[in-house]
Structure 1
Amino acid sequence: MPVTARVHVGRTDIFGPEGLASTSTAPLFAYGTLQVPEVAQTLIGRVPDTRTGELNGWVAAPLPGRMYPGLVRDKTRRTPGLVVTGLTAAEWMLFDRFEDEDYALERVTLTDGTDAWAYVWQLDTDPGVWSMSDFRSNFLPQYVDRCAAWSERDTKHRSIPR
């Protein structure tokens, strides 16, 4: 799998050259833990507007040793998820800081023709299918606690004068 450039805080693909949010920004396609209301609430302080969506040619694959998935190409699969709309520039930047450095933000087209951004896994992994129901049953409280701890560290880090 070719590795594309990793895209993080300061990118111009969503925010434009001045770093400002655009009203024409495509939504986020959430296929893993960012679909979970408790996770969104913990990270950005609210549950954004969503609707269901699907992506052909990709799969939310389980990642070894991690409780969350990575989106990887698989021509034989279709991945369900949520189309997240109405994110502010600050929320986009927070999600971008939160996502692992092994994800890149890529533009995708959903089965209904909607263009969206998705965090795509950049490393090789087996294209099995990650289970949201297993995640909710076995890991959700632990993961929400982990998100809360990350959010607290992120807030402290950003509040340090530079």
Structure 2
Amino acid sequence: MTQTITTSAPEATGRRDRLSQRPDVLFCYGTLRFDAVLRALLGRVPQQSPASAPGYRAAALEGRVYPGLVAGTSADVASGVVLTDLSNQEWRILDAFEDARYELRELPLSNGRWGWAYIWPGGDVRVDDWDATEFEARHLAAYAARCARLAPGLAAGRPKGE
């Protein structure tokens, strides 16, 4: 049985405004940490290094194969990677790819630096954490293929339209 944490569903965030903050380093804790997804969306794998976000967790989301980064306890640590060399166009592609409900926020990383991450604001959050190994085994191939189909539209400035 899967247990869901219920919160009210937020309004969609202002997607057009998310990049006005001029983010530089992107912390990826979910599907974007996989080279196959990055290659499908961007046509390359950007420079990356391991990173983690203390006090956050990559939560499983009800009815989705991707996670949401949510505030956790002081014992929680979301692992992932930081992408350090994204072009402005690549930022626009990734921003159009991300669900409109995500909020782009800067957060402290365990290496003492700061990074930007797409934070899930609530709703549909399960009590269990997202399992990257299970995603890789069960969903990655189909997910990357879907990303490759979406990429031309995203590069042209069209949101993926969930």
> TM bucket by the smaller chain?
0.7 to 0.9
1:102 alignment counterpart? 101
Aligned length: 148
1:8 alignment counterpart? 15
Contact 1:6 1:105 in 2 (8 A): no
Contact 2:28 2:83 in 1 (8 A): yes
Aligned match of 1:52 in 50, 53, 73? 50
More displaced 10-residue stretch of structure 1: 141-150 or 119-128: 119-128
More displaced 10-residue stretch of structure 1: 145-154 or 95-104: 145-154
**TM superposition shift of 1:64:** 1.0
Write out aligned runs for 1:69-108 (5 A). 69-75=67-73, 76-108=75-107
- SS across alignment from 1:67: coil
Distance 1:26 1:156, change over 3 A: closer
Which residues of structure 1 form unaligned runs of 5+?
Answer: 15-24
Question: What do the CA deviations read for 1:77-112 (whole angstroms, capped 9, x no partner)?
Answer: 111100111100000011000000110100001011
Contact 2:28 2:117 in 1 (8 A): yes
1:132 alignment counterpart? 132
Distance 1:50 1:156, change over 3 A: closer
Q: TM-score, normalised by structure 2?
A: 0.83
Which residues of structure 2 form unaligned runs of 5+?
Answer: 1-6
- SS across alignment from 2:76: strand
Q: TM-score, normalised by structure 1?
A: 0.83
- Report the RMSD for the aligned CA atoms in angstroms: 2.1
Identity of aligned residues (%): 34
Mapped to 2, the partners of 1:120 and 1:77 lie a distance apart of 15
More displaced 10-residue stretch of structure 1: 87-96 or 143-152: 143-152
2:151 alignment counterpart? 151
- SS across alignment from 1:128: strand
Mapped to 2, the partners of 1:102 and 1:110 lie a distance apart of 22
Contact 1:6 1:103 in 2 (8 A): yes
